[in-house]
């Protein structure tokens, strides 16, 4: 039987158990800018918990599919008005098979049944894309935004992304840990001291692990070598990050009091977004996953003047709700920051945003308590004309979110008919096969 703990998985497991401040690494260097040929070079997934009511994103006057030109976006996503020619609003996908009430957890990006405490049954779309998009030092970076209490008590958590069955990927929620991971080697003062201390610790752990493995039974040694290899990859990552220090210095965000003395949890949300954006701009990663609420039913936005938090937010109707308008507008402003940040970096004959797709949705489909019959999604970016934009598409509820993920993989050059759907499941839950023709240009 194939060993389920491959090298990349070992890195993630070890990272979680040894301070939970490291992700995964490949053996590639930061790529040079390429041509402006179509297709994504990077993808961002942004999932807001508690559901995404379509009434908060669909213009009231649009009763069918059509162009967004000449219509005004609803108040919750009003910050995207100036970018609606790059926006594609999609309603009518479903996730009936994912059990999304209170969250589909790994199933939201996996397109399979999920639940609280249920391990992933397969890899998720963000991980699969990280394998086929241009290689980077950190093929996949996940960040999670929550209440200050949760982010402090649990600086990493795994609820949304997975590299395979039973192999969760951790989200970083403490920006100080994430900054130290990405930029500790080029920093000074206390950050540099912490970086050097952790480097020494992991080098000692690698040597100790290698020595102790010699006494194990032969049947256990292949699995154990995976752990030793994981330590080696972590240590090697630090050296390779040092090899691109000039690029890192160019894009590293400045550390200020929002890191060390945040007034509200939204201070940490903001700097986590800055770190995710810097990882994209510097070429450290090609896939960024953002979990607002970290894939559960929690979350807090006191920095927006919102006293309610967590589970109670999911019991409030979202349309015309001032609380949810604030949250959704905050998300929309984050989307604008991502777009503007990527637009500021030249790439080929255009900018990084010309080759980037942003996928915004919820891990709860349309509501906290939902059957998953309608799973709204917003796409931002057209990736050189590969994706349709500037429009609303209303589907008939017969194609699952898996079909969207199939479409994303198809845009990256992977040909398949169904993502994470067996033939019996596809026959039951998908009315067609292949990508969504309504999404690809």
Is 250 part of any domain? no
In-domain check, residue 258: no
The number of folded domains in the chain is 1
Question: Are 56 and 77 in contact, with CB atoms under 8 Å apart?
Answer: yes
> Per-residue confidence of the chain (441 residues) as pLDDT tens digits?
333 334 344 333 333 333 332 333 322 333 333 334 578 999 999 999 999 999 999 999 999 999 999 999 999 999 999 999 999 999 999 999 999 999 999 999 999 999 999 999 999 999 999 999 999 988 899 999 999 999 999 999 999 999 999 989 989 999 998 888 888 766 555 655 555 445 554 555 456 556 655 655 666 555 555 444 445 555 566 666 766 677 788 899 999 999 999 999 999 999 999 999 999 999 999 999 999 999 999 999 999 999 999 999 999 999 999 999 999 999 999 999 999 999 999 999 999 999 999 999 999 999 999 999 999 999 999 999 999 999 999 999 999 999 999 999 999 999 999 999 999 999 999 999 999 999 999
User: Is residue 12 assigned to a domain?
Assistant: no
115 in a structural domain: yes
The DSSP symbol for 139 reads: S
CATH of the domain at 157: 3.40.720
Would 290 be classed as within a structural domain?
A: yes
What is the model's pTM?
0.85
Q: Which two tokens stand for residue 18?
A: 């040894």
| Residue 73 lies inside a defined structural domain of this protein | yes
Tell me the two tokens of residue 11: 């890195």
Residue 348 lies in a domain: yes
Asked, for residue 156, whether it belongs to a domain, the answer is: yes
CB proximity list for 228: less than 8 A, separation 6 or greater: 206, 209, 210, 213
φ/ψ of 335, rounded to 5, equals -60, -40
- Cα distance from N-terminal residue to C-terminal residue, the chain: 43
Q: Containing domain of residue 42, as a range? A: 28-188+263-429
């Amino acid at each position: 039987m194939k060993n389920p703990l491959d090298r990349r998985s070992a890195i993630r497991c070890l990272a979680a158990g040894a301070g939970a401040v490291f992700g995964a690494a490949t053996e590639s260097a930061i790529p040079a800018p390429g041509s402006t040929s179509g297709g994504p070079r990077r993808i961002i997934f942004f999932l807001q918990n508690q559901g995404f009511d379509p009434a908060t994103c669909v213009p009231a006057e649009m009763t069918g599919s059509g162009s967004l030109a000449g219509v005004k976006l609803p108040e919750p996503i009003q910050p995207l008005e100036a970018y609606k020619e790059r926006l594609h609003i999609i309603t009518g996908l479903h996730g009936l098979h994912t059990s999304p009430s209170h969250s589909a957890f790994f199933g939201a990006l996996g397109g399979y049944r999920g639940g609280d405490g249920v391990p992933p049954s397969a890899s998720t779309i963000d991980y699969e894309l990280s394998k086929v998009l241009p290689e980077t030092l950190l093929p996949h970076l996940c960040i999670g935004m929550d209440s200050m209490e949760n982010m402090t008590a649990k600086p990493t958590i795994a609820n949304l992304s997975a590299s395979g069955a039973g192999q969760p990927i951790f989200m970083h929620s403490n920006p100080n840990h994430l900054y130290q991971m990405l930029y500790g080697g080029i920093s000074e003062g206390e950050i540099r001291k912490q970086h050097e201390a952790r480097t020494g610790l992991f080098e000692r752990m690698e040597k100790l692990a290698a020595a102790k493995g010699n006494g194990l039974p032969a049947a256990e040694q292949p699995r154990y070598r995976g752990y030793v290899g994981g330590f080696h990859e972590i240590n090697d990552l630090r050296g390779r990050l040092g090899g691109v220090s000039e690029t890192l210095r160019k894009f590293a965000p400045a550390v200020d009091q929002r890191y060390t003395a945040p007034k509200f949890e939204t201070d940490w949300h903001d700097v986590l977004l800055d770190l995710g954006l810097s990882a994209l701009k510097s070429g450290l990663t090609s896939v960024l996953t953002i979990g607002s609420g970290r894939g559960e039913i929690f979350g807090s936005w006191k920095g927006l003047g919102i006293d309610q938090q967590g589970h109670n937010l999911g019991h409030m109707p979202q349309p015309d709700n001032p609380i949810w308008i604030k949250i959704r507008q905050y998300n929309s402003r984050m989307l604008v920051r991502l777009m503007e940040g990527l637009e500021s970096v030249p790439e080929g004959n255009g900018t990084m945003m010309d080759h980037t797709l942003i996928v915004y949705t919820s891990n709860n489909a349309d509501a906290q308590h939902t059957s998953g019959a309608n799973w709204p999604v917003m796409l931002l970016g057209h990736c050189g004309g590969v994706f349709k934009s500037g429009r609303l598409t209303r589907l008939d509820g017969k194609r699952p979110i898996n079909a969207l993920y199939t479409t994303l993989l198809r845009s990256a050059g992977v040909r398949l008919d169904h993502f994470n759907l067996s033939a019996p499941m596809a026959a039951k839950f998908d009315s067609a096969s292949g990508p969504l023709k309504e999404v690809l240009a």
